[in-house]
Structure 1
């Protein structure tokens, strides 16, 4: 693999990141629909980021990580809300149904809030999004992105941070990184649920982590 560069996310990264997320979570969709669904995912997470970094090879993203310390500013929220709005419009024009994704996100966010309320995690410090392309997995890209996000959170005063994950994701990675499962909920017996079989909140210990990473806002 060519050398990997780590830099703040840029607007021109959105399509490539949409492809990564689309391939990961929307394999059922074809062609352009899959990418647009991934862009909607990306924007939905990015609405609450205060730090966003991509790993790139030849300026093409192969991974992304986002974190949150406190509340993102209005500029960040407006920027990503606009991207999400335009992607939803495009998906509808392609014959998809953006309202189905919105309904899923709303259900996920409610379940996440319930999980967090049943944990002892600090709600102010969160790992928001973490994804690496299938071609780049196992090469240390994800570990480097995770290290950078943890250093950013620690620099913002966090001694602990949390993340949400579920059985549709590679949740075992977080246990491999030494994170603690702080709460979980099962939807496996709910035949009407649109949510994953199990959802989790994990907590990471940031004590002893030093270093300052820039906040990569758009």
Structure 2
């Protein structure tokens, strides 16, 4: 991967990151029409940009985005692209609310994950199992880049960022449709679990939704 460049997310990376989101998070299952899927993916990306203080993308030598990671570090300033992300989210949601009405049965189920995230957060805070301060808000790689070290490099880069800011712990949300074993191999622990019932063609009827928490590894 010597030709892979790792750098902060820039606005011209949007199309590449949207393509990764469409694939990694099964957006086409919830928004099964070409005129809806992009808007649904834009809502996901906008939410992540609004929540984040840190971004990195992996880009190959022809400019294709191979992977992305975003994170939030407590007390750090939000990204400068925040106003644009907010505007794009409002526009995408307005389109989904009108053109997406015939597909609302499946579209609304995607928002069930957000409800589960709120429940997981409450579960963890009530037990004190994790601090829930710094967070990985988005982490995914292009299907063509998986198994080539791109995800590991992006993840390790965020760990370095956390160390540089004297942070000690972090968390993330994921689910059984994703490669959650990646986090377990890096020492993260599943702090809370909830189930989500789905009625979406091509997806399991029951999905596990997880909150993982971990300690920032020390420098080797």
- What is the TM-score with the length of structure 2 in the denominator? 0.80
Query: Over aligned residues, Cα RMSD in angstroms?
Result: 3.1
Could you say which residue in structure 1 is the equivalent of 2:173?
164
Could you say which residue in structure 2 is the equivalent of 1:41?
44
Q: Partners in 2 of 1:196 and 1:169 — Cα distance? A: 14
Q: Partners in 1 of 2:96 and 2:3 — Cα distance? A: 34
Listed as ranges, the gaps of 5+ residues in structure 2 are 200-204
Q: Does the 8 Å contact 2:112/2:196 carry over to 1?
A: no
Aligned-partner SS, 1:118: helix
Listed as ranges, the gaps of 5+ residues in structure 1 are 211-218
Q: Partners in 2 of 1:138 and 1:207 — Cα distance? A: 22
The alignment covers a number of residue pairs equal to: 207
Runs of 4+ residues deviating >6 angstroms: 98-102
Q: Does the 8 Å contact 1:27/1:34 carry over to 2?
A: yes
Could you say which residue in structure 2 is the equivalent of 1:203?
213
Q: Does the 8 Å contact 2:7/2:58 carry over to 1?
A: yes
Could you say which residue in structure 2 is the equivalent of 1:8?
8
Residue 58 of structure 2 corresponds to residue 55 of structure 1: yes
Aligned-partner SS, 2:147: coil
Deviations, residues 189-209 of structure 1 (Å, cap 9, x unaligned): x88xxx962111111221414
Q: Partners in 2 of 1:167 and 1:174 — Cα distance? A: 12
Q: Does the 8 Å contact 2:113/2:196 carry over to 1?
A: no
- The CA deviation at 1:85 is 2.1
